[in-house]
């Protein structure tokens, strides 16, 4: 309540400079939305210094950015997207994490494939086909398992789930290979990671294997957007005189 009252008083005064230090990290969604509305109202007349670890909010509010570490400015400028990317590189984790494994199958290989050469890659251009190659070692199963891949953004928010027409078929013990193909990827620019869960069937009740961050990759596109999808659209218009 003190934070709510403090922000309300400061905003109503419409100061020349308003310092907001993690205010939007507290309170419910209603409070956050009211804060955004108030900030949008006073922003044309007030210089706002916004201190936060929430990059979506920084992207939403700021037109300039300073990245501070150990009291020193690592980056300062008008390129807010670049500052946010530098912030995230401090927390990049390249190691996968096995959450659950019942010993039925194991992940032996995972690759992002270049859409033209078919070679391993770690970047993909917006609008290109997303190709993911998996090598799975079957140790106990008699039938093909249902393999799921979830895509997470740099905020570790789930943004997509790769689904396919699953058909049960008998398989032998040993390594088998799976290719996932999604045509014309329209994720916005940024870094993403893949989580894998293997189920016995499409009911997705009891997992056989779950691994987080099996692969990280970067989507490249000139347009800077914060929403997770940059959708290809057509514009139809007419001019009336």
Tens digits of residue pLDDT in 38-68: 888 888 889 999 998 888 888 888 999 999 9
Distance between terminal CA atoms of the chain? 55
pLDDT at residue 85 is higher than 90: no
3 state DSSP class of 34: helix
**Model pLDDT, residue 21:** 83
Please report the domains of the chain, with CATH numbers, ordered by start residue.
Answer: 2-89 (3.40.50.300), 97-220 (2.70.50.60)
How far apart, in whole angstroms, are the C-alpha atoms of residue 66 and residue 73? 6
Q: Cβ–Cβ contacts within 10 Å for residue 152, how many? A: 19
Q: What are phi and psi of 204, to 5 degrees?
A: 55, 50
pLDDT level of residue 93 (50, 70, 90 thresholds): low
More confident residue, 56 or 76: 76
- Calculate mean pLDDT across residues 170-179: 95
pLDDT at residue 22 is higher than 90: no
Instruction: Please enumerate in sequence order all residues whose Cβ is within 8 A of that of 199, keeping only pairs 6 or more positions apart, or say none.
Output: 145, 146, 147, 148, 205, 206, 207, 208
How far apart, in whole angstroms, are the C-alpha atoms of residue 133 and residue 210? 17
Q: What are phi and psi of 40, to 5 degrees?
A: -60, -35
- Widest distance between CA atoms in the chain: 73
Mean pLDDT for the chain? 89
Look at residues 35, 37, 44 and name the one whose alpha carbon lies nearest to residue 4: 35
Q: 29-42 and 2-13 are packed helices; what angle lies between their axes, rounded to 10 degrees?
A: 20
Predicted TM-score (pTM) of this structure: 0.78
Query: Positive or negative, the Cα torsion across 58, 222, 212, 160?
Result: positive
**DSSP letter assigned to residue 170:** B
pLDDT at residue 5 is higher than 90: no
Tens digits of residue pLDDT in 198-214: 999 899 988 999 999 99
């Amino acid at each position: 309540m003190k934070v709510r009252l403090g922000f309300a008083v400061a905003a109503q005064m419409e100061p020349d400079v308003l310092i907001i230090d993690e205010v939007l990290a507290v309170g419910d969604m209603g409070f956050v939305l009211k804060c955004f509305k108030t900030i949008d109202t006073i922003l044309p007349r007030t210089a706002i210094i916004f201190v936060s670890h929430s990059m979506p909010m920084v992207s939403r509010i700021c037109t300039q950015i300073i990245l501070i570490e150990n009291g020193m400015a690592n980056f300062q400028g008008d390129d807010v997207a670049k500052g946010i990317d530098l912030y995230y590189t401090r927390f990049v984790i390249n190691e996968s994490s096995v959450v659950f494994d019942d010993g039925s199958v194991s992940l032996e290989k995972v690759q992002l494939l270049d859409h033209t050469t078919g070679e391993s890659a770690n970047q993909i251009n917006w609008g290109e086909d997303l190709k993911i190659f998996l090598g799975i070692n079957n140790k106990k199963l008699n039938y093909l398992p249902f393999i799921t891949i979830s895509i997470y953004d740099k905020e570790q928010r789930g943004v997509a789930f790769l689904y396919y027409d699953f058909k049960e078929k008998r398989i032998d013990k040993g390594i088998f290979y799976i290719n996932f193909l999604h045509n014309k990827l329209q994720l916005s620019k940024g870094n993403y990671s893949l989580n894998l869960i293997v189920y016995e069937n499409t009911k997705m009740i009891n997992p056989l294997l779950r691994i987080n961050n099996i692969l990280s990759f970067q989507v490249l596109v000139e347009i800077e957007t914060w929403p997770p999808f940059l959708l290809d659209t057509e514009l139809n218009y007419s001019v009336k005189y």
